[in-house]
Amino acid sequence: MDVLKSAAPSNFCDTCTVRNRAICSDLTRDELNALNGIGRQRKLRAGEQLIWEGDEAVLVANVIDGLLKLSSQTSDGREQILGIAYPSDFLGRPFGGSTPYGVEALTEAQVCVFERRDFDRFAREHPRLEHKLLERTLSELDRTRKWMLLLGRMNAEQKIASFLLQVADRAGDSDTGEEDRVTFDLQLSRQQIADVLGLTIETVSRQMTRMKSQGLIDLPSRRTVTILDRYALEDRAE
């Protein structure tokens, strides 16, 4: 495993950009120092695998930057994408014997990696972290159910609208000042969006162009999206 040594300062929790949203957000300074002692930072290239489905659960990780996909192989060898992990999301299977899904970087990514046995021991000794684990597990279950609905029951327009709303909620950070408008960088290419949603790249481009012409979104650049009318976009998603 290509694990990077932590950079200065030695306590990389001090410079973590997602610490207030991550699973360790409720820990005290001393607890963060202890957690820092068992963790390492790792950078992933786009397409690099972090966790392999079915392998022994040897590590868990917090996403610091970038996007990763969670996927599983069907019996006939096809890939089923189970969801996308965003910054502050927690990956892996604490207290588990094997990993139920694979995790691959969709973009360049940075993660905080822990040996699973060390993390399990730390969690047992720190109830606040165990409580956060439970909360995250339930939230992940809810997101997985919504993702399965998105892939299995929605048409192309609904999929694109739902996906844009999801990215805006998880990754949008440039509010225009109006309640229903938000601008965000879309880190995935049109082809990657198509792969994630089970569509063709032509369908993705056609739907986004149509939404722009209808005044739902703007596309200032190929990777930037502005939601102009969130309520109308939510109606399309439903």
Pick the CATH number of 154-237 from 1.10.10.10, 3.40.50.2020, 3.10.129.10, 1.10.1380.10: 1.10.10.10
- pLDDT value for 164: 93
Residue 202's CB is within 10 A of a number of other CB atoms, namely 10
**In a structure prediction context, what are the per-residue pLDDT tens digits for the chain, which is 238 residues long?**
444 333 334 566 777 888 788 888 888 888 888 888 898 999 999 999 999 998 888 999 999 999 999 888 877 877 777 788 999 898 988 887 788 889 999 899 999 999 999 989 988 888 888 777 777 777 777 776 777 776 777 899 999 998 999 888 886 544 444 556 789 888 888 888 898 888 999 999 999 999 999 999 999 988 899 999 999 999 998 7
What pLDDT is stored for residue 180 in this prediction?
60
Look at residue 171 in the predicted model and tell me its pLDDT. Answer: 67
Residue ranges matching CATH 2.60.120.10 in the chain:
12-144
Fold of 12-144: Jelly Rolls (2.60.120)
Backbone angles phi, psi at 91, to 5 degrees: -120, 150
Q: How far apart are CA 226 and CA 18, in angstroms?
A: 23
At 94 the pLDDT is 85
Does the pTM of the predicted model rise above 0.75?
yes
Cite the residue boundaries of each domain of the chain with CATH code 1.10.10.10: 154-237
